[in-house]
Amino acid sequence: MALLPFTRPSIDEATIAGVAEVLRSGWITSGPQVKAFEAALSRHCGGREVRAFCSGTAALEVGLRLAGIGAGDEVITTPLSWVATANVVLEVGARPVFVDVDPRTRNIDLALADAAVTPVTRALIPVDLAGLPVDRDALDELARRRGLRVVEDAAQSFGARWRGRPIGASGDFVAFSFHANKNITTGEGGALVLPDPALAPACEKLRLQGVARSGEDGMEVDVLGGKWNLTDIAARIGLGQLERLAEFTARRRALARLYFQCWDRALGCELPVEDFENANWHMFQVVLPPHASRARFIARMRELGIAVGVHYPAMHLFALYRARGWREGQFPHAERIGRAIVTLPLFPAMHDDDVERVCAAARQALA
């Protein structure tokens, strides 16, 4: 039996044909398709200004720069995320400050974030792990009360909602990822939702080497930017994907429901929060019981034809961050979850019996 991957994008023939048209057009870097994709993203985000990037990481970094975060500043975030979440803080010269997660949601504990604020704290980067949104009401209240900027790492939560509104339709800066494993993809790519339309020119300058053009031949550079633009090829994929967002989200939620129905609770695993109103079910993750070896579980699942991912180890334990003073034992919830969490297959093209197959394999692997 073929290996069941933990994720696989669904690219339809109309999108493939559209990419071919872009290739034939001769305009394959940033152009009309990027503008169309940004306009579609803006409609999804309630009319807010959105700019596309080559990655969600680039969008996060530019969000920090536009928020004025730099040397001497502290930015509070979670240790349970892809390492890019904290790396971008280092990139702008600031210091990431980790706080532990809520063991149930696996998202940043906002009470601990509040307690970690110092006179040099300037921003928060919350992460919607696996597509489960951080409590936006509590987040906004904390940011207002403490005078902090927020750059939402919504890399995993495109298509999720909070109180009926899409993530990205409100808040400060919001960064999305359209990596190949995300709920919609551009192959590689991302986007940044801006809190103020007046920031769009500065955002565009930072996205492309700080260049500002005027007239027929005018060019000026007054800030240090990057090379972070999205191609028209990628944007055309994104346009096709965005049309199917509701379909993809509905299917992911249906598969997640099946997981809850089929999973053997006697295995002793910690299941995710059963949220079918807000979460986009980017990933279905379980935390293995204390007696289980994750490495052996992954190997055994592969033998049974099931691919399993790890998202994510607690990043403060990486050498890069240990060298900056972080150490084991500081964030027990994130460390425990990071050592035992596994990502099970979940993608729109899966069949119902694929979920049953995964659950049956897990029973064997954990026997």
Whether the CB-CB separation of 229 and 55 falls below 8 Å is answered with: no
Asked if residue 160 and residue 17 are part of one domain, the reply reads yes
Q: How far apart are CA 268 and CA 361, in angstroms?
A: 15
Out of 190, 219, 242, a domain closes at: 242
Predicted local distance difference test score (pLDDT) of residue 359: 98
Burial 337-353 (b: 16+ CB within 10 A, else e): bbebbbbbbbbbebeee
Distance separating alpha carbons of residues 321 and 328, to the nearest angstrom = 11
CATH number at residue 310: 3.90.1150.10
In a domain, 6, yes or no: no
- Name the catalytic one among 35, 182, 205, 227: 182
Query: 């990419």: which residue's tokens?
Result: 19
Q: Which of 242, 276, 299 is the last residue of a domain?
A: 242
**Does one domain contain both 143 and 208?**
yes
Distance of CA 94 to the CA centre of its chain: 21
What's the structural domain count of the chain? 2
**What are the tens digits of pLDDT across the range 161-203?**
999 999 999 999 999 999 999 999 999 999 999 999 999 999 9
Q: What pLDDT is stored for residue 41 in this prediction?
A: 98
DSSP characters over 329-361: TS-HHHHHHHHHEEEE---TT--HHHHHHHHHH
pLDDT at 121: 98
C-alpha torsion sign, points 276, 363, 10, 237? positive
The candidate with the shortest Cα–Cα distance to 170, out of 203, 194, 189, 138, is: 194
Is 87:60 a contact under the CB 8 Å cutoff?
no
Q: Which of 217, 242, 267 is the last residue of a domain?
A: 242
Q: Are 271 and 260 in contact (CB under 8 A)?
A: yes
Q: Judging by DSSP bridges, how do beta strands 121-125 and 74-77 pair with one another?
A: parallel
What pLDDT is attached to residue 224? 95
Partners of residue 75 on adjacent β-strands:
96, 123
pLDDT below 50 — which residues of the chain? none
Same domain, 50 and 120: yes
The pair of three-digit structure tokens given for residue 278, joined into one six-digit string = 């807000």
Measured CA to CA, the distance from residue 191 to residue 29 in angstroms comes to: 16
Q: What pLDDT sits at residue 166?
A: 98
182 among known catalytic residues: yes
113 with 176, same domain: the answer is: yes
Q: Give the per-residue pLDDT at 102.
A: 98
What Cα–Cα distance (Å) separates residue 287 from each residue in 35, 113, 267, 333, 342? 41, 24, 11, 11, 6
Domain extent, residue 294, equals 245-365
**Tens-place pLDDT, residues 47-70:** 999 999 999 999 999 999 999 999
Nearest one of 210, 248, 186 to 56, comparing CA atoms: 186
Question: What pLDDT sits at residue 194?
Answer: 98
